[in-house]
Amino acid sequence: MNYVGDIGVKLEFTINIGLSEIEKALLYVLKPDGRKEVWECEKGEGVIFYVTKEGDFDVAGTYQLQLYIETPTFKGRGSINKLDVAKGVWLWLILIKHLKKF
């Protein structure tokens, strides 16, 4: 499970295009609150990936992710993937437990 505030989550996508042909790979993101963002992806061993940064998972809910690829002969998007991001409930439990000590 992914949580609000998570940093360093690696999102991987396999594709049917040779990685050497890819000139640009972007991830179109629709956040649960309706905001749209574009995240720049990297090429790895057999996959396209994105590693989340601070502020990427800033709201709980279902994120819709769509990979966009450019090659010399193709420009287009793939299917939409959904990713759930939850509130960090365990942080609240730690805080409540800590506050009870006072």
**3 vs 49, higher pLDDT:** 49
What's the pTM value of the predicted model, to 2 decimals?
0.82
19 or 33, which is more confident: 33
Among 75, 81, 60, CA closest to 24: 75
Distance (Å) of CA 25 to CA 13, 15, 69, 85, 93: 11, 11, 5, 23, 39
Q: What is the mean pLDDT of residues 45-49?
A: 89
What would the mean pLDDT of 43-69 be, rounded to a whole number?
Answer: 94
Is the domain covering 2-100 a CATH 2.60.40.1220 domain? yes
